[in-house]
A and B are shown apart, each in its own frame.
Chain A
Amino acid sequence: MIEISGVSYRIGGARILDGINLTLPKGGISALIGPNGAGKSTLLSLIARLMPHQTGTITVDNLVVGACPNNTFARKLAILPQASDAAPLLSVRELVGFGRYPYHKGRPSAEDHAKVERALATFGLTDLAARRLDTLSGGQRQRAQVAMTYAQDTDYILLDEPLNNLDIAASRSLMRVLRDLAASQGRTIVIVLHDINYAAAYADLIVAMKGGRIVATGTPDDIVTEAVVREVFETDPKIHRIDGKVIIEV
């Protein structure tokens, strides 16, 4: 369980996050949605201790973010930041292998190698394992990054807009893998999504943010309504319910 209480964050005079109180349950997929600049990525970075938080407390299970040793935390929670364009000059297998660093500290065991191979297989990368990242397509590279995060073998996986440069096939396949991981291995996945349709289709819990605050929290059925979408995104698309699924017209 991730518990966030009283977290605010300012950069200069700008208020990025404003008194966030939020509990994300253990297990399942929680999706953060909201317009650009809502503070979703900042919140994710604070949970993952990428930036020191200024006020409030964040705990992940029994670990207090900021007080817990860095390496212990790295075995509890992994984050994949938004894709950057500079790919390291590594093969896919080498990149995924670095996900095991918190465990082996530079001396990988047979178990580490086995877990790397499993991560490659889970994300359909076995055939690409020897290829260098700079020779792959954006989608394949993104999959390799997610596989590295997965290989870190943490209870919690945070993903910041992983679907950004993926086509529809790659997006769906990634979301399915994530849902499988949540269901079969009990991983907790917190994901920032731009497309509400993906959040509606795959998330167990949706957190809607706007202007550094949390506007609404609930199941896709509760959140993806015309009223909430209008309030959060300031636009009013039609929302259809087909066979019990919510679909937003774009």
Chain B
Amino acid sequence: MICLALVLTLVLLCITSLFVGVADLSPAAILSDPAALDLIWTSRGPRTVAVVITGGALAVSGTIMQMIVRNRFVEPMTAGTGQGAALGILLVTLFTPSLPILMKMALATTVALATSTVFLFIVNRLPPTQPMLVPLVGLIYGGIIGAGVLFVAYQADLLQYIDIWMNGEFSGVLQGRYELLWIAAGVAALSYLAADQFAIIGMGRTASVNLGLNYTQVVVVGLLSISVVTALTVVTVGMIPFVGLVVPNIVSRLSGDNLRATLPMTAVSGAALVLASDIVGRLIRYPFEIAVGSVFGVLGAAVFLWLLYAPRRHA
């Protein structure tokens, strides 16, 4: 029931997204005006697809990271993975600018994987009785890497590039400039195959070993999936914080942690919330735009507060 409502909302948002923008476009024009179709094909369509993929994949990545770290207050974009991806792509731009794009992506992903692994090692040394230390350490850790990226970029006169990677928004998405995101979509969808495994490592190392799971292997697969999705997002549309934090928390509060059942819901909710934010961002100062991250921060916080204070249905 909830699922159906979510999917329906997402479809409605997608249709709305196609007809919101600076250039006037009415649904009737599609049938008669070839320029309208062209606008949808080259700009509005790709933008909508990019938002949906980004929102869904980031929400799924957030869930996986929260399971790995066993803490509900972390997400890849603020805990070093996103900054690692930016660092990777910066290094590639500086030292090997002639590499084919897929190789560049592979290198950025590798750096993101390395910074996330270091984060995991740091987290494992924190006292388990202090869960709030984990997000704080994550913020500081991500902040340090981000500052490093900024410094190197400043020295190399690459600040404008950095701005694109660090501040996510979708106004630059056109046909031919977002297709890498399909890989992120594929990786996020593939990680659904390991939904049970991620749910089990979320119960802890002991429970995993007891159930015959190769704990380390699942953690590595999870980190790899997070890193690929994050790196591709950072390069294509830039960092979008909070999606991976807010959406998994909303879903697990409503529907629990049985990922086999809830991951699709997480993906659809993430896509819908980010798309709604993007549409609002396009309208609020029309014809100018507000970056999706800012709108999402407000929208996501509002939804989350409502959830916290709304009476629980089945307590």
Chain A residues near B (Cβ < 8 Å): 48-50, 70-75, 78-79, 81, 84, 88-91, 94, 98-99, 101-102, 105-106, 131-132, 135, 152
Do B197 and A50 touch (CB < 8 A)? no
Do A91 and B212 touch (CB < 8 A)? no
- Name the distance in Å between B193's Cβ and chain A's nearest Cβ: 8
Do A48 and B210 touch (CB < 8 A)? yes
Do A78 and B257 touch (CB < 8 A)? no
| Binary contact readout B245-258 vs A (1 if CB under 8 angstroms, 0 otherwise) | 00000001100111
CB pairs A–B below 8 angstroms (24 shown): A48-B209, A49-B209, A50-B206, A70-B213, A70-B214, A72-B212, A74-B211, A79-B210, A88-B203, A90-B258, A91-B256, A91-B258, A94-B256, A94-B258, A98-B196, A98-B199, A98-B203, A98-B211, A101-B196, A101-B213, A105-B196, A106-B193, A132-B256, A152-B210
- Name the distance in Å between B308's Cβ and chain A's nearest Cβ: 15
Chain B residues near A (Cβ < 8 Å): 193-197, 199-200, 202-204, 206-207, 209-214, 252-253, 256-258, 260-261, 314-315
Nearest-neighbor residue (CB-CB) of B196 within chain A: A106
Nearest-neighbor residue (CB-CB) of B211 within chain A: A101
Interfacial chain A residues near B214, Cβ < 8 Å: 70
Interfacial chain B residues near A101, Cβ < 8 Å: 196, 200, 211-213
- Name the distance in Å between B113's Cβ and chain A's nearest Cβ: 24
Contact check: which of A81, A94, A102 meets B212 at CB < 8 Å?
A102
Among B207, B209, B212, max chain A CB count under 10 A is at: B212
Contact check: which of B212, B252, B253 meets A73 at CB < 8 Å?
B212
Do B195 and A106 touch (CB < 8 A)? yes
Do B197 and A106 touch (CB < 8 A)? yes
Please name the 10 residue pairs, one residue from A and one from B, whose CB atoms are nearest each other, closest first. Answer: A74-B212, A71-B212, A106-B196, A89-B257, A102-B212, A89-B256, A94-B258, A101-B211, A70-B212, A81-B206
Q: How far is the CA of A50 from the CA of B215 in the complex (A)?
A: 11
Interfacial chain A residues near B210, Cβ < 8 Å: 48, 50, 74, 78-79, 81, 152
Interfacial chain A residues near B258, Cβ < 8 Å: 90-91, 94
Do B213 and A90 touch (CB < 8 A)? no
Do A90 and B256 touch (CB < 8 A)? yes
Q: How far is the CA of A250 from the CA of B269 in the complex (A)?
A: 57
Do A50 and B315 touch (CB < 8 A)? no
Interfacial chain B residues near A74, Cβ < 8 Å: 210-212
Do B260 and A132 touch (CB < 8 A)? no
Q: How far is the CA of A72 from the CA of B212 in the complex (A)?
A: 7
- Name the distance in Å between A167's Cβ and chain B's nearest Cβ: 22
Q: How far is the CA of A74 from the CA of B209 in the complex (A)?
A: 8
Q: How far is the CA of A191 from the CA of B210 in the complex (A)?
A: 16
Do A88 and B211 touch (CB < 8 A)? no
- Name the distance in Å between B203's Cβ and chain A's nearest Cβ: 5
Q: How far is the CA of A101 from the CA of B213 in the complex (A)?
A: 9
Q: How far is the CA of A219 from the CA of B193 in the complex (A)?
A: 49
Question: With contacts A50-B206, A91-B256, A101-B213 known, what are 9 further pairs, Cβ within 8 A?
Answer: A78-B210, A79-B206, A81-B210, A88-B203, A88-B257, A90-B257, A91-B258, A98-B196, A102-B211
Q: How far is the CA of A99 from the CA of B207 in the complex (A)?
A: 10
Interfacial chain B residues near A79, Cβ < 8 Å: 206, 210
Do A152 and B196 touch (CB < 8 A)? no
Q: How far is the CA of A24 from the CA of B253 in the complex (A)?
A: 44
State whether A106 and B260 are in contact (beta carbons under 8 Å apart), knowing that A88-B203, A98-B199, A101-B200 are contacts in the complex.
yes
Interfacial chain B residues near A50, Cβ < 8 Å: 206, 209-210
Interfacial chain B residues near A73, Cβ < 8 Å: 212
- Name the distance in Å between A59's Cβ and chain B's nearest Cβ: 18
Nearest-neighbor residue (CB-CB) of B72 within chain A: A89
Interfacial chain A residues near B206, Cβ < 8 Å: 50, 79, 81
Do A135 and B256 touch (CB < 8 A)? no
- Name the distance in Å between A51's Cβ and chain B's nearest Cβ: 9
Among B194, B210, B211, max chain A CB count under 10 A is at: B210
